[in-house]
Amino acid sequence: MNDSQLLLSIAVLGGTGKEGKGLAYRWARAGYHVLIGSRSEEKAVAAANELKEMLGDGSSIHGMDNLKAAKEANIVVLTVPYSAHRDTLESVRAELKGKILIDVTVPLVPPKVATVQMPAAGSAAQEAKEIVGEGVEVCSAFQNISHEHLLEDSDVECDVLVTGTSKDARAETIKLVEAAGLKGWDAGPIENSVVVEGLTSVLIGINKKYGSTHAGIKITGADLMRKA
């Protein structure tokens, strides 16, 4: 833990869900100040207390409603189901100006969640960019990470592809990927998020067919080029 980490507040909107709670755990364990947001402040506080018990003394996690979490944070991470995507973004839009929004949402449309079904904007991340408007850097990441192992201390055998509206925003997002104990890759502009989000349905289908719960992706042959 260091001072720069404590100065950086990360709001995880929808942080009471499995993916959001897992990411919050990883960042709090790394020493970041984490704000768990939810439509229900009571649920957010309960989730924060649960993580505090897991992490022990020294962790900095607080639960609050989504709007307050977005207002207080430096970086906002959206981990809600796609059905709540637009409403959540519209409710916090005014608090996102000048910040980085990391969208973890996948546009899954039940019951055919193993079939790729993208929105008219192209992807959930591109839709988010349309909703929040100018003055917000939007990145897309973590869609292909199963929540199964995030709440454990073991390594996760899956890489994270990061797309976004600027190179600097993607670089900041990759720092958080690595703080969570994962390997991140700059996968280019936000338009490429359509591929990354679509992969989630493919992985869901693989899990169903082969009896797994945490199929993921790995980038091979590029380790020597990571600093290029």
Give residue 213's pLDDT.
81
Q: Give per-residue pLDDT as tens, 142-165.
A: 999 888 778 888 788 899 999 999
161: phi then psi, degrees, rounded to nearest 5: -90, 125
Domain membership flag for residue 228: no
Would residue 214 count as lying in a domain?
Answer: yes
The residue-averaged pLDDT of 115-130 equals: 96
pLDDT value of residue 154: 79
| Token pair listed for 10 | 């990360």
Query: Of 114 and 157, which is predicted with more confidence?
Result: 114
- Mean pLDDT across the chain: 92
Number of domains in the chain: 1
| pLDDT tens-digit map of 86-96 | 999 999 999 99
Per-residue pLDDT of 67-79, as tens digits, reads 999 999 999 999 9
Q: How far is CA 205 from each of CA 25, 58, 139, 159, 218, rounded to the nearest angstrom? A: 27, 40, 25, 19, 17
196 within domain boundaries: yes
In a domain, 131, yes or no: yes
Residue 108, burial from CB neighbour count under 10 angstroms (0-12, 13-18, 19+): buried
173: domain CATH number is 3.40.50.720
Whether 177 is covered by a domain: the verdict is yes
Whether 3 has a pLDDT exceeding 70, the answer reads no
* Spatial separation of the C-alpha atoms in residues 132 and 134, rounded to whole Å: 7
Residue 187 lies in a domain: yes
| Reported pTM | 0.93
pLDDT, one tens digit per residue, over 10-54 is: 999 999 999 999 999 999 999 999 999 999 999 999 999 999 999
| Mean predicted confidence (pLDDT) in 94-123 | 95
Residues 6+ apart with CB under 8 A from 42: none
Residue 151 belongs to domain spanning: 3-223
Q: Is residue 83 part of a domain?
A: yes
What gap in Å lies between CA 127 and CA 123, rounded to an integer? 6
pLDDT for the residue 1: 46
Helix (H) or strand (E) holding 104: none
Name the token pair of 8.
Answer: 């950086």
